Amino acid sequence: MEDLIIDLLAQVRRQKPLVHNITNLVVMNSTANALLALGASPVMVHSPSEVREVVDLAQSLVLNIGTLSELTAESMLVAAEHANNIGRPWVLDPVGAGISAFRNDLLANLLELKPTVIRGNASEIMSLYNFNQVNTKGVDSTADSKDAIGFGKALQEQLGSTICISGKVDYILSEQHTAEVHNGHPLMTQVTGLGCSATALIGAFLAITDHPFEAATAGVSLLSLAGELATARSSGPGSLQVNLYDELYLLNEERIRMHLNLKLYGN
C-alpha cells in the first residue's frame, strides 16, 4: 500500500488534476490551500447556474455541507447527479450530520445518489446510518472512531460507497478491505477544517485513479501524516495549520516510508 500511495502522490503532482469543490465557507481557503500544497488544482464554484459545466471540466467533485444554504443544497444535488451521469467520482463530507432536519433531508437525498466515498467523524458516520439515534455535538465528534466501525460497515454495504471514519485512528472501509491509519495528533482537533482537508485530498486522488478505496486511503493517510509531522514542529494550533501546508508540499517517498503507519486487512 505504501508503494501505491507514493505512486498516487507522484501522479497527482504530475497531472495536477482539477478538483471541483462545493464546500463550506469556513474551510474554502484552507481546503484550496491543502489541494494546492499537495499538487492538485482546486476550483471552487457553487452557483446552481454553473456547477454542471464545472463538473464537466473537472476530474472529480468534493461536496462538503458544513455551512449549508438552500442554494448550495440545490447545487450539490445538481452536481452529484450530473457527476453520476457522466461517470465522475465524488466524495461527500457530511459535516454536522444530525444537527437539523434540513441537513438530514439533504443527506438522505445525497446518499440516494451513492457517493463514491464518504468521509466523516464517528458521530457523523453514526448519524448518517441512522438519523434518529445519535446526538451530534456540533461538528466535532463526541464518539470514538472505533465505535463507528459497525455503522460504517453497514453504510458501506447499503450504498457500496467507501467509508472513512476520522479519529484517533482513521478507518477506511470498502467491501473487501479495511485500512487503519495510526498517524495524526490530538492537537489537530484544535484547528478548524482538517477533516474537510482530508476529504478534499480524497477528491484529488479520486481524480487520478479508478480505485476509490486506494484514493480514500491515500487522502486520509497523507493528511494525518502531514498533520503529525507538522505538529512536531508547532507550538500551537496556529503554527500547526501553517506547517501542515508545508508538510503536504514536502511529502516525498522518504518521509512516507519512514513515518506512515498504515495497516491493511482483508474483510
Does position 55 interact with a second copy (CB under 8 A)? The reply is: no
119 carries a ligand binding annotation: yes
Does position 237 interact with a second copy (CB under 8 A)? The reply is: yes
Of residues 44, 78, 154, 159, which one binds a second copy by CB under 8 A?
44
Name the pairing type of β-strands 170-173 and 162-166: antiparallel
Which residues fall within 8 angstroms of residue 235, CB to CB, at 6 or more apart? none
Contact indicator for 166, 120 with CB cutoff of 8 Å: yes
Q: Which three cell numbers stand for residue 116?
A: 463514491
Binding to a second copy (CB under 8 A) within 111-150 occurs at: 137-140
Cell 514542529: give the residue: 233
Contact indicator for 181, 172 with CB cutoff of 8 Å: yes
Does position 244 interact with a second copy (CB under 8 A)? The reply is: yes
Q: How far is the CB of 251 from a second copy (least distance, A)?
A: 10
Phi, psi torsion values for 92, nearest 5 degrees: -110, 130
Does position 197 interact with a second copy (CB under 8 A)? The reply is: no
Q: Point out which span in 117-125, 154-162, 191-199, 212-220 binds a second copy (CB under 8 A).
A: 191-199
Of residues 18, 113, 154, 159, which one binds a second copy by CB under 8 A?
18
Residue type, 1: M
Of residues 96, 184, 195, 212, which one binds a second copy by CB under 8 A?
96
Question: CA 203 from chain center: how many Å?
Answer: 7
List the binding residues for ATP: 119, 166
